[in-house]
Structure 1
């Protein structure tokens, strides 16, 4: 028996559905199923009855869920409170996606020490690379103080601060006929091979992009993933395809013969967000968020798109 098994069981007890429980915990459904089965083995009795159509608690499972719910919540609350009290005595943990780490953290290193060392709101910080789904889970359980990620939906218990909003851009060879335009519409890309970065890095942002691509009549067979954001422009330069990416890609290292144009008919801009636990705000976290916001505001993407 372990805490993860009981957390998985409580999620199943609430959702009465293994996939929804897995989505809530940001785990794979087989992991949740195995955790519940392992807990049942350790207890020596079934907790849930499941068929192809229905999941329901056994009487024993309902009794066990009621017995463990409050102690487990109290344990998590104690952990969150302890981290909040220790904020002035430890490094703040800042999780970041690879691209936002490259974009923002060097600027943060330069900006953060600007205040006097005896300022109690200025805790030290340390970076941890982490994609968006993992950030949400780590912020929720208190392992991460601030996460830097692209657009995210509202999540219970997660506070999301929008640091800045940027357009989607088309990444083009300078010789591409579309490069002569001030803006590019997705409909202009029908029939072209389109390069994107991995969908699993941020499924929320990808779902927005996929909806826009479908609306523009672009066949999914014309989409291709490139392994890393910092390789996208190189693929465009060497292969002649079109890349689609959030606008801050313009701040990555220059690639000869590649230019960027804003996409005019995207349904929404792409947000750079800072996420933190809704109950764990401290002066240190607030000060670091303010510094990050000023850094993002200072990014002049318009100058790079002309």
Structure 2
């Protein structure tokens, strides 16, 4: 009995309907009938009882089904494992992310990826605010979902996955905390808590030095850790731009998040090393795009 004939028999044993079996296997009902008759002739026994209204397994058919099912499943798993290995989708994929909302999407995508590629394990880790590209360069991350822009010759910019409106983290009790929204021009009225370790072009986008009208934006303390940013803001040392979604993930009694009404959104995209454009990275990128779209 050939593998295709086993597939036809097991599918018919499950569906008990020649038409549905043919639809599932993308063949004609006649092809299903021919395969079953061939098997019955070879075995010298009837496998199905057929009437104009029903199809059911005979006792001999049930014995054959039970004997073939486990072996067929093992064959399918072996074929899938070989195909996955042949595509390079095996081993370990290290995935980094920046903000908590990026981590949530990465975890959801990882669940789907594992189901599709069971021979590839995924290790998820958060990237450091002050050195987001370090893991990509030292090999500890294969792909990352982080804030843009990133423009580095050794890093591939993948697709933008989503955007988020901006907000300003301000100390509770600060005059800006009473506003329904703030303007980029308001940044000139309070020292800005900034981060260290990022490329200057990145800082120019997220922590500008001047407002659109040319007013200077004063600098407050700087740090390389997001929790320290919030601690400094909460202590009244300054304000800091961020994603509006931070209000849901990083709620603190001493920090208020006020949305901007005129700031461009924050873009989040996938990055990977220029030397690491592997099949498993490409497969994970596709999975993230599907997950974000859903």
- Partner residue, 1:124: 121
- Partner residue, 2:110: 112
**Are 2:268 and 1:272 aligned?**
yes
Maintained 8 Å contact 1:159/1:278: no
- Partner residue, 1:134: 134
Matched position secondary structure for 2:190: coil
What per-residue deviation string (whole Å, max 9, x for no partner) do you get for residues 8-44 of structure 1?
xxxxxxxxxxxxxxxxxxxxxxxxxxxxxxxxxxxxx
Matched position secondary structure for 1:201: coil
**Cα distance in 1, alignment partners of residues 173 and 293 from structure 2:** 32
Per-residue deviation, 1:135: 4.9
Query: Structure 1 residues 293, 173: CA separation in 2 closer, same or farther (over 3 Å shift)?
Result: farther
**Cα distance in 2, alignment partners of residues 122 and 185 from structure 1:** 50
- Partner residue, 2:78: none
Per-residue deviation, 1:291: 4.2
Larger radius of gyration: 2
**Cα distance in 1, alignment partners of residues 118 and 287 from structure 2:** 12
Query: Structure 1 residues 208, 109: CA separation in 2 closer, same or farther (over 3 Å shift)?
Result: closer
- Between stretches 221-230 and 207-216, larger displacement belongs to 207-216
- Partner residue, 1:162: 160
- Partner residue, 1:224: 221
Maintained 8 Å contact 2:95/2:141: yes
Q: 1:1-306 residue pairs with structure 2 within 5 A?
A: 87-96=88-97, 99-100=98-99, 102-105=100-103, 108-109=106-107, 112-114=110-112, 117=115, 119-120=116-117, 123-128=120-125, 129=127, 131-135=131-135, 137=137, 144-156=141-153, 158-198=156-196, 200-211=197-208, 213=210, 215-219=212-216, 221-239=218-236, 241-266=238-263, 268-277=264-273, 281=277, 284-293=280-289
Matched position secondary structure for 2:176: helix
- Partner residue, 1:5: none
Per-residue deviation, 1:174: 4.3
- Partner residue, 2:56: none
- Partner residue, 1:30: none
Query: Structure 1 residues 189, 207: CA separation in 2 closer, same or farther (over 3 Å shift)?
Result: closer
**Cα distance in 1, alignment partners of residues 229 and 178 from structure 2:** 20
**Cα distance in 1, alignment partners of residues 218 and 111 from structure 2:** 49
Per-residue deviation, 1:185: 1.1
Per-residue deviation, 1:250: 2.7
Maintained 8 Å contact 1:95/1:144: yes
Matched position secondary structure for 1:195: strand
TM-score, structure 1 length as denominator?
A: 0.53
- Partner residue, 2:21: none
Matched position secondary structure for 2:240: strand
TM-score, structure 2 length as denominator?
A: 0.55
**Cα distance in 1, alignment partners of residues 133 and 277 from structure 2:** 21
Gaps of 5+ in 1: 1-83, 299-306
Per-residue deviation, 1:194: 1.9
**Structure with greater proportional helix content:** 1
Aligned length: 206
- Partner residue, 2:36: none
- Partner residue, 2:44: none
Matched position secondary structure for 2:241: strand
